[in-house]
Amino acid sequence: MHSILGKLKKLQLKARRHPEPTYHPAWPLCDEEISRPDMEPQHGSPLFGTLSAELRIMIYRAVLTDASRFLHICLNRRDGVRRRVRSVAHYWCVDMESQFPKWQHTCYGEKFSPPGQEFRPITETDDKLLSLLLTCRIIYAEAMPILYRENVFHFRGGPPLLAFRASISPRQWSSIRHIHISSIHTKDSCMPGAEKKWPPEHIETWDRCFEILRGDKTLETLRIDLMARFDMWGGGSAHNTELILMEALRKMRSIPAKFYEVEINIDPPQEFWDALGEVDFAVIVRERQYNETLYYHPTSLQF
């Protein structure tokens, strides 16, 4: 009994130290239904009292954006992890020059460590990317759109895109202008139950991603690099691999991005394109080197 009373007292003290905010806790992440709270204009701060809005924007850009590399959105694994973890984490790309498919970047923390592949279940990001945003409500309101508009959000397949979309507000999502997705489709992409692991991509997850992107009217650039293989070992006939690619491309039509480009790893004959019909993306054929050491027998991410 004493311990319960003690815990209640501690909670009361904690509540007094951290009073409830007078504004809606989700502001400004929610859409229009929530009114903008009164904010202290912060004229005493040199950031607002001395610097012009243009200079503040330059500062926000320098801190929050890097157009020269991907802002990877990495899916966190929860299996076997006891503490609560976010569904996704960001990770600035450190492997932009890689000749491998982008889903094989070292950024994902996978490496060969005999007798097999080693992977990073949780991405710990300690770059303090959001620290500036969290210092003050005015800064948050001014800088948040810059973070979303001016970076290239990169997703390794559909699962992190769906998880990221579910973790942010519609307003944040619609602030994103540049998306890159890298994926691999194999004969297993259509297997029932395969949506619970990655790679390969599951065709229904893929379909759900493009359904989201189809409703995204503010997207400026969408780039996809898509690998089709009969299986992870690269077997099977060319015809069967083309059928796998066809199934993936069929889900990718009618995206309202201003610039839409798809890189594929095989060069199908004209009959393939005739059968696929009209598409609204430009196609690049590029066969990238495949990291056989790491991904010959990949350990699939289990969700």
Using CB under 5 A as the criterion, which residues of the chain lie in contact with Zn ion when the complex forms? 93, 95, 105, 107
Q: State the amino acid at position 38 in one-letter form.
A: D
The one-character DSSP state at 119 is -
CB of 275 to Zn ion, least distance (A): 34
**Alpha carbon distance 47, 55 (integer Å):** 9
When the beta carbons of 105 and 208 are compared against Zn ion, the nearer one is: 105
Q: How far is the CB of 91 from Zn ion (least distance, A)?
A: 7
CB of residue 107 vs Zn ion: minimum separation in angstroms? Answer: 3
How far apart (Å, rounded) are the C-alpha atoms in residues 283 and 171?
A: 31
Q: What is the DSSP letter of 202?
A: -
Smallest CA-to-CA distance from 169 within 23, 21, 73, 28 is with 28
CA-to-CA dists, residue 92 to 79, 99, 212, 255, 302, angstroms: 24, 18, 24, 26, 23
Looking at the Cβ atoms of 90 and 202, the one nearer to Zn ion is 90
Give me the least distance between CB of 190 and Zn ion, in Å please.
28
Residue 292, token pair as written in the block: 């056989």
Amino acid at 255: I
Locus of tokens 């066809």:
246
Based on CB atoms, which residue is closest to Zn ion, 105 or 180? Answer: 105
- How does DSSP assign 118-162, residue by residue? E--SS----S-TTTTGGG-HHHHHHHHHHHHHSSEEEEESHHHHH
CA–CA dist 136, 48 (Å, integer): 12
Least CB distance to Zn ion at residue 10 (A): 44
Distance CA 202, CA 161 (A): 13
What's the min distance (Å) between Cβ of 72 and Zn ion? 5
